A = this chain, B = another copy of it.
Amino acid sequence: MDAAALSSVTRDDIAAAADRLRGHAVRTPLLNAPSLDDAIGRRIWIKAECLQKTGSFKFRGAYNAVSQTVGDVLAFSSGNHAQGVALAARMLGRQAVIVMPSDAPEVKIANTRSYGAEVVLYDRAGENREDIGARLVADRGLALVRPYDDPRVIAGQGTCGLEIAEDLPETVSEVLVCCGGGGLTSGVALALEGRATVRPVEPEGFDDVARSLAAGERQTNAALSGSLCDAILTPTPGELTFPILQRLCGPGLVITDAEALRAMALAWQHLRIVLEPGGAAALAAALFHHSDDVAVVASGGNVDRAVFTQALAGSAG
């Protein structure tokens, strides 16, 4: 893909994605908890994408992309993108093939299969997933759906931003977004251009986007694992997403795992929603690294019981 592909992600593309998703994706609410606002002394609005089909915003981009392909589809993912593509494909009458590492969590493999996908497991140590994917594309004519560096995926995630714009109080001008490769963040930033500034939020040690925005060029993380926020750990900003982030976003914010767990407990108590650590990152930034009224995207809620129980155990409630 080249610069021409990038320039093709417009607000019209996002509006077209919204038309495709209507009646298929959940129109998620922008929640507000007066009891939480009172406790912290300012107001937070929470876009509850954990209520989206498959439990994360990923379904939006996946459905928008798959609906523009012909035939069966392929994705690499051990997480939320896998589930989004699997369900989107099933709803559109296609077969999805998902290449997953054999050491991916049992529950994520099971979830992906439950949406009807064919799961191809590979050994991280001995095999290269790109080779496996290339073979599947060649042998079976599958269409690859990337997790963020795809204009159709960015436009699909942008529909979340269009909905925020419809519900956001006029006085709020900043939206914090949990950020991995930047598909959601860039899509929401495009949808809110001229209405609100978007700021990416990342976990400590995996702040490639924040550092890239500060440096003016794409930076890479030293580690690839080691945070509870598994949903938003990516090595470097996307090739297509970074120029959008650079043009539209404010400075990045960084949160700790402990702050993400605390945000999960407060979301449970005051908003009655279930978040995973990576999906609570933006709320954590609003609570612990911000001082104004603000909106956040609560991007996903696919979490193991042990991690969720850990979050509740650390809370006062």
Contact = CB atoms under 8 A, between A and B. Distances in A.
Main secondary structure of the interface of A (DSSP, over half): helix
Contacts of A148: none
Contacts of A29: 26-29, 51
Contacts of A302: 272
Q: How large is the interface on A (under 10, 10 to 19, 20 to 34, 35 or more residues)?
A: 35 or more
Contacts of A165: none
A51, A107, A304, A312: which has the most chain B beta carbons within 10 Å? Answer: A51
A115 interface: yes
Contacts of A87: 34
A317 B107 contact: yes
Contact of A305 (B51, B273, B304, B317): B317
Interface in A272-303: 272-275, 301-302
A305 B301 contact: no
Interface of A: 26-29, 31-32, 34-35, 38-39, 48, 50-51, 53-55, 87, 90, 107, 111, 114-115, 268, 271-275, 301-302, 304-305, 308-309, 312, 315, 317
